[in-house]
Amino acid sequence: MKAFILFLGLIAFSLSSFSVAANTRLPGANLDLNAVLELFKKSKNLEDFERELNSEKSKVNNLDLNDDGFVDYIRVVNYSSGTIHLVTLQVAFSADDIQDVAVIHLDKPDDNNTVVQIVGDEALYGRDYIIEPRTESDRTAANVNHWPTVQYMYGPQYVIWVSPWHYGFYPHWHNPWRPYPWDMYYGYVHPFYGYYRPCGFYRSYHAHTFYYKNKNYSKTYYQSQKHIAAQSSLPRNKQAAKVGSVPMNTGKPVKHEGTPNQKPVSNERIMERPESTAPTHTPRTNPTMNNPNPTPRMDTRTSPNRTPQYTPKPSQNRSPQVRPSSPPRSTPTRTTPQRRP
């Protein structure tokens, strides 16, 4: 009897989570990050990861941002800085209009540990939507040093991967397909939820700030009705920045500042600090300014018809001052007293 009640409870829990996810209906719901991280775990390298991500057989990508009736091709671009690797997923609206979808953070604090998190773009998932591998404790990060892709990326023969495919030019093996109904797609990706979990903070804040130096925004998508309707369904603290407050397609990195141990972190735009004003110092006086007979200096200013020459200042004819002589000192004479007879 207890087993039957437990079984009914599990069914009720799964149905409740299903209804919550179905009611969200954000654009990112058609690219489940739990399934993306599982696909990244099983891939051999980033080229293989991009191929599997854009394959209908994997049933991971169900994203159609431009509403053309076909699933979008997702480009994979890698950025690196020291021990940090960023694997960015992008969708192109045109040759110069690219929207980031999600980014995988990889940080290797030492030779035996590597931390991974995948973060959904705020325009598709809302702010601070972070997924990571599940462990026994929420405070402990999973070590993914044994994942094939991680070993390859931190290996000596790795070369930074930038997808050679772009808008209008796709590989011959890519066959666009129609998006699945959302309820059917959720059934494909729901089994991966047991291996991953949401996280409320960034394991590597340096990776988070480094990503915003390479982040891409699509002005076409930000002005679309899909984006406006999705953001209106989110709380204000989870909504993406407005179009006017974000530099679009400028090619310049967005600068962010903060401390590495800042928790919880948010994707809010942090304005660049004004440059500090240098303290003013009292200029030193030139000791030769008060010298009546300065040493002649060489005029180093040159011109086509002018050669360096000495330009001494006119000397001042002053008569030497003679100190008046003091009168000679008189030596007092000593008289010897005479004896009386």
Domain membership flag for residue 290 = no
Contacts for 325 with CB less than 8 Å, ≥ 6 apart: none
Domain membership flag for residue 104 = yes
Domain membership flag for residue 282 = no
Q: How many domains does the chain have?
A: 1
Q: Which of 86-90, 236-240, 265-269 has the lowest mean pLDDT?
A: 265-269
Domain membership flag for residue 200 = yes
Q: How confident is the model at residue 230 (pLDDT cuts 50, 70, 90)?
A: confident
pLDDT in tens, 129-147: 999 999 998 889 999 999 9
Whether the per-residue pLDDT at 296 is higher than 70: the answer is no
First to last CA, the chain: 159
Helices then strands, each counted (H, E), the chain: 9, 8
Output the CA–CA distances (angstroms, integers) from residue 17 to 20, 127, 331, in the order listed.
5, 20, 123
Whether the per-residue pLDDT at 257 is higher than 50: the answer is no
Provide the pLDDT for residue 212: 86
- CA geometry: angle 47, 75, 116, nearest 5 deg: 70
Element (H, E) at 228: helix 225-232
Provide the pLDDT for residue 168: 87
- Compare 312 and 29 and report the one with higher pLDDT: 29
Provide the pLDDT for residue 70: 95
Average of per-residue pLDDT across 290-296: 54
Domain membership flag for residue 298 = no
Which domain does 178 fall in, by range? 7-238
Give me the chain's average pLDDT, please: 76
Whether the per-residue pLDDT at 159 is higher than 70: the answer is yes
Domain membership flag for residue 27 = yes
Provide the pLDDT for residue 138: 86
pLDDT in tens, 298-320: 554 444 555 555 555 555 555 55
**pTM for the complete prediction?**
0.66
Domain membership flag for residue 60 = yes
- Compare 338 and 73 and report the one with higher pLDDT: 73
Contacts for 256 with CB less than 8 Å, ≥ 6 apart: 209, 212, 213, 269, 270
Provide the pLDDT for residue 62: 96
Average of per-residue pLDDT across 215-228: 89
Percent of the chain, pLDDT > 90?
51
Q: How confident is the model at residue 197 (pLDDT cuts 50, 70, 90)?
A: very high
Whether the per-residue pLDDT at 271 is higher than 50: the answer is no
Domain membership flag for residue 26 = yes
Tell which residue, 1, 4, 77, 66, has the closest CA to residue 30. Answer: 66
